[in-house]
Amino acid sequence: MVIDLAYASDQNFIGKKVYHNAHAFLHKEAAEKLEIAQNLAENLGYTIKVLDAFRPTEAQWVLWEACPNPVFVADPNKGSSHSRGIAIDLTLVNHKGMALDMGTPFDDFTPQSFHRDVIISKEAQLNRFTLLGIMSAAGWDFYEKEWWHYQLFNSKNYPLISDKDAPMSLMK
């Protein structure tokens, strides 16, 4: 597994660092399902590249202020599945470490990022379906408007977590 958190650098849609460190955390149940997904990906010759995981509510506010569009950034007043530690943004990389073509980059806030009704290359469609199959088989739910976003089912059953009290698994 490769961890490359977009918000731990300035290489993201707002162009500035949001996280103080590049540690990726997930709720224990989500971390276990991600391990299953990684094993499935490896069986197909791929590796999972983690782009975002637990997102403190404080960071959710920074993203919301930059893009107050609830289609792509959850309203922090309602809570985010990322801020519950049960969501992950990811892609697949090949054996050379190159990200697969998914038709759009991560955090491309256009309808081309949706799972359905998009016009992308056959290769990108196949790559998206491969990622969807891996994550679904590992027990993840998907968000129909972002090919990169997966979360545990029944996300509202998990409490919001602040940066100070994150009792989760560190991914390495």
Give the catalytic positions in this structure.
Answer: 146
Per-residue CA distances from 132 to 57, 73, 104, 121 (Å): 27, 21, 15, 16
71 contacts 48 by C-beta, under 8 angstroms:
no
13 contacts 106 by C-beta, under 8 angstroms:
no
Cα 11 to Cα 80: distance, rounded to the nearest angstrom: 22
115 contacts 124 by C-beta, under 8 angstroms:
no
CA 110, chain centre distance (Å): 16
Q: How would you classify the pairing of strands 24-26 and 169-171? A: antiparallel
